[in-house]
Amino acid sequence: MRREAAHRKSAKTAHSAQQRWRVPATGRTRAVSWYKGAPSGTAGGADPHHDAMNRGFYTILAAQFFSALADNALLFSAIALLKVLNPACVTESGECWQTPVLQQFFVFAYIALAPFVGPFADALPKGRVMFISNAVKLTGCLAMLGGLHPLLAYGVVGIGAAMYSPAKYGILTEYLPPQRLVLANGWMEGLTVAAIVLGAILGGFLVGPGFASLAAHLHAGTGLESPAKLAIGTIVLLYLIAAATNLYIPRVAIDHRLPKKTPVYILQDFWHCFRLLWRDPLGQVSLAVTTLFWGAGATLRLIVLAWAATVLNFGPQRAIELTAVTAVGIALGSVLAARFVTLQRAVKVLPVGIAMGFGVMSMVFVSDWKTAVAMLMLIGAMGGFFVVPMNALLQHRGHLLMGAGHSIAVQNFNENLSILVLLGAYALMLRAELEIDTITIVFGLLVASVMYLLWRRHRHDQDEGAM
């Protein structure tokens, strides 16, 4: 009761720093706190919560950075551990065909738990949700150290990630007005990409020969009998830092508490949100684009690892570092999108996605590592430039229609279903021992074709500036 009273008091105090608008589809009203300054026409000029909101936003970014850093470093350490425990999965090319399966176990939680993680994120302060989620990730990491099979343990980490995602993106709509969502997503994607880059570098170092020699001297004292396990033990520290940072995220009023908490009602509510977002024209295009991007992107990351080993003759550490180049490109594209693309013109970036598909296909003509670096950075920049506005548009439409956590849970369901399907297709192609150039062309053609169809269907959706 005290906590409920505190939330009501906090919401009442912050009322002067909020702007309300009417949702065209439902007639409901929502409130969004301003990040900088007061709304136009508000007496008094500055927002009294300006400094607190700044600190909260930067704390969210820091928590996301450390959590994403640990996630990405753990992926490469888990791959190394998988090869040690199951050498029979390694093909003649040196790649383990179970690597895509490892990521499938991770994303399965996003799909299976999608109806429940959205209401969970909206029913509690999102900083607390992020703390609980990191605790689950930490549990999966420790389970991997304790001897649980990497596929199963990485699946537990996926449960924490599925819980984390609606909170980390949903909280942006509670802190920021619509016109700042593209900029905020640019910051979020930029920090996430920085974590991907550093996570890849850290993961490459942890599974590389240098750390292996260090591990040979240390594992006797730590009880970790392999370099891969010592690497995972190191990553545990990152999850602890992320969880501690979550404790400093300021609390905001509850966004969208469900009237009922029965499984049947939750499933019905999720299905309602799913249909509502797909039927909304702007929700449909943003959801379709992000679904394609993350499905193809997760698969492309593994394709680049195999391509670097086969075409460029890179070892595991250098191949992992090459994937970081794409992440740097995504960061650059995210910055450009935040600078030049407005929420009211987000659909206009779709042709960049078509060009990205052709860029992926052009990789088959590259055999020099310097050209490969430039090509992968360009592909990443195009991806960042079109996915950041689409993420912001999807968050905005979802916040208006159903609540931030609910909409992002629907987004995660679609995106990770795409990842599951495309990783499965990639695993089958690896088992069939198709050439890496053939696989690259297939995925590039898929991206270009789908983006072209979406552009033809939705290119005029924002011609009148309707949001």
* Least confident segment among 251-265, 290-304, 320-334: 251-265
User: H or E element: which one contains 214?
Assistant: helix 209-222
> For residue 175, how many other CB atoms are within 10 A of its CB?
22
Q: What is the mean pLDDT of residues 175-190?
A: 71
Q: Is residue 42 part of a domain?
A: no
- φ, ψ (nearest 5 deg) of residue 97: -70, -15
Assigned domain for 463 exists: no
Q: What is the CATH number of the domain that holds 426?
A: 1.20.1250.20
Q: Specify the pLDDT at position 95.
A: 57
The predicted-structure confidence for 7-19, as pLDDT tens digits, reads as follows: 333 333 333 333 3
- Residue 76 domain-assigned (yes or no): yes
Q: Is the pLDDT of residue 28 over 60?
A: no
Number of domains in the chain: 1
In terms of Cα–Cα distance, which of 17, 35, 332 is closest to 172?
A: 35
Which residues constitute the domain of residue 97? 50-249+268-458
Which range, 106-115, 310-319, 369-378, has the best average confidence (pLDDT)? 369-378
**27 assigned to some structural domain:** no
Q: Quick one: average pLDDT of 143-163?
A: 88
Residue 467: Cβ within 10 Å count: 15
Q: What is the mean pLDDT of residues 265-280?
A: 86
For residue 311, tell me if it sits in a domain: yes
pLDDT more than 90, % of the chain: 7
- Which H helix or E strand runs over 139? helix 126-145
DSSP 47-85: -TTHHHHHHHHHHHHHHHHHHHHHHHHHHHHHHHHHHHH
Residue 324 domain flag: yes
Strands (E), 57-204: none
**Residue 104's pLDDT band (cuts 50, 70, 90):** confident
The pLDDT of residue 19 is 34
Mean pLDDT over residues 231-253, rounded?
Answer: 85
Query: Is there a domain that residue 12 lies in?
Result: no
pLDDT of 29:
32
Do the domain assignments include residue 256? no
pLDDT over threshold 70, residue 71: yes
Judge whether 148 and 229 are in contact, CB under 8 Å.
Answer: no
Q: What's the whole-number mean pLDDT along residues 121-141?
A: 87
